Amino acid sequence: MTEMQVDINADAGESYGAWPMGRDHELFPFLSSVNLACGFHAGDPLTMQRTVALAREHGVAVGAHPGYPDRVGFGRRDLAAGADELYADTLYQIGALQAFVQTGGLRLSHVKPHGALYLRMLRDEVTARAVAEAVKAYDPGLPFFVLSGSLMERVARELGLPVVLEVFPDRAYLSDGRLAGRDLAGSVIRDPAEAARRAVMMVTQGRVQALDGGWVELQAETLCIHGDNPEAPDIARTVRQALEAEGVRVRAHSQR
């Protein structure tokens, strides 16, 4: 019988100057991969350097987390940007993080878009294609984290990018497979036990209950924990413990 494996990732490195964000030191021991902010929606050069070092200390795979240039809105506001701008911005951010990854003695393991950019890629093919083409131009073998069953997955596969199918145990889903908007009650899961229950179901059964009724079928290759959630370390710890109790091995996708 094949051993079940899954990656646990989190968005991290989102502090900026004197303004801290997240509890990365507490969170990293429970992860297998991290998506590091590249200075557009959050992060700065020193934070990037320090967070790469923290990832190396904990043996965690490092990926780039490009977003819109929107520190004030934390990259969660939908900005108007053409395909050429999206392409260049994505390439720029990957390159910025790569400098710290390389000098830190690691290798870049994946790319995962952030926030409003990620969500726009679920409904707008121009955006999805521009970002995916930038990843392909940088490295056609670099894995791309995509929402399971989404438009962004289809576009990435059409371009020949290796994809890693992502699910969110700490976010609610709608019956059409989209993530529920943060303005909806119950859209963010803050209870570690509930997030763990959902994670186990996603990995072992390939489904999750939708906020608006019914079930969403999905495929879980990596589970995302939002690092800016104040409960993130507790959620990650509880999710990992629950998965391991079910015989699921937590391992970075890049190590399989």
Measured between its terminal Cα atoms, the distance across the chain in Å is: 17
Q: What secondary structure, in 3-state letters, does 71-135 show?
A: CCCCCCCCCCCCHHHHHHHHHHHHHHHHHHHHHCCCCEEEECCCHHHHHHHCCCHHHHHHHHHHH
Q: Which helix (H) or strand (E) holds 204?
A: helix 192-205
Report whether pLDDT(229) > 90.
Answer: no
Report whether pLDDT(79) > 90.
Answer: no
Q: Strands 215-217 and 249-250, how do they pair? A: unpaired
Q: What is the DSSP letter of 188?
A: B
Report whether pLDDT(2) > 70.
Answer: no
Tens digits of residue pLDDT in 102-134: 999 999 999 999 989 999 999 999 999 999 999
Residues 6+ apart with CB under 8 A from 216: 173, 174, 175, 177, 207, 208, 209, 210
Q: Is 149 exposed, middle or buried (0-12, 13-18, 19+ CB in 10 A)?
A: middle
Q: What is the C-alpha radius of gyration for the chain, rounded to an integer number of angstroms?
A: 17
Q: What is the DSSP letter of 223?
A: E
pLDDT at 76: 85
Helices and strands (H, E) in the chain, number of each type: 8, 10
pLDDT at 185: 80
Report whether pLDDT(254) > 80.
Answer: no
Give the pLDDT mean for 32-51: 96
Neighbouring CB atoms inside 10 A of 3's CB total 8
pLDDT at 200: 96
pLDDT at 1: 52
For all residues of the chain together, what is the average pLDDT?
A: 93
Q: Strands 144-147 and 163-167, how do they pair? A: parallel
Higher pLDDT, 149 or 136: 136
Tens digits of residue pLDDT in 43-75: 999 999 999 999 999 999 999 999 999 988 887
Residues 6+ apart with CB under 8 A from 104: 49, 52, 53, 56
Question: Percent of the chain having pLDDT more than 70?
Answer: 99
Give the pLDDT mean for 83-106: 97
> Which residue segments constitute the domains of the chain, with CATH numbers given?
5-255 (3.20.20.370)
Give the pLDDT mean for 142-161: 94
Q: What's the pLDDT band for 182 if we cut at 50, 70, 90?
A: confident
pLDDT at 256: 64
pLDDT at 77: 85
pLDDT at 238: 97
